Structure 1
Amino acid sequence: MIKVSVLYPNNPGVRFDIDYYGQQHLGIVRQCLGSACKGIAVEQGLASAEPNSRAPFVAMGHLYFDSLGSFQWSFGPHAERIMGDLPNFTDSQPLLQISEVLLAP
Structure 2
Amino acid sequence: MSYIAVVAYPNEPDTEFNTDYYLKSHMPLVAKTWGPQGLKSWRVNKYEHDLAGATSKYLITATLIWESEEAAKKAVAGEGAPVIFGDIPNFTNKSPITLVGNELASQNI
In structure 1, C-alpha distance between the alignment counterparts of 2:52 and 2:58, rounded to whole Å: 14
Runs of 4+ more than 3 Å apart: none
1:68 lines up with 2:50 in the alignment: no
How many equivalent residue pairs?
Answer: 104
**1:17-39, CA deviations, whole angstroms, 9 ceiling, x for partnerless residues?**
11111110001101110231101
1:11–1:92: 8 Å Cα contact kept in structure 2? Answer: no
Q: Report what 2:88 is aligned to.
A: 86
CA deviations on 1:33-56 (whole Å, 9 max, x unpaired) are 0231101010001202432x2111
Q: After TM superposition, give the deviation of residue 64 of structure 1 in Å.
A: 0.5
Q: Helix, strand or coil: the match of 1:91? A: coil
Aligned partner of residue 62 in structure 1, secondary structure: strand
1:102 alignment counterpart? 104
Whole-angstrom distance in 1 between the partners of 2:20 and 2:56 = 19
The amino acid across from 1:15 in the alignment is E
Gaps of 5+ in 1: none
Query: Pairwise CA RMSD of aligned residues?
Result: 1.2
Q: How far apart, CA to CA, are the structure 2 residues paired with 1:103 and 1:17?
A: 33
Q: TM-score, normalised by structure 2?
A: 0.88
8 Å contact 2:46–2:60 — kept in the other structure? Answer: yes
CA distance in 1 between counterparts of 2:23 and 2:76 reads: 18
Q: Distance in 1 between matches of 2:105 and 2:13?
A: 34
Show structure 2 runs of 5+ residues with no match.
Answer: none
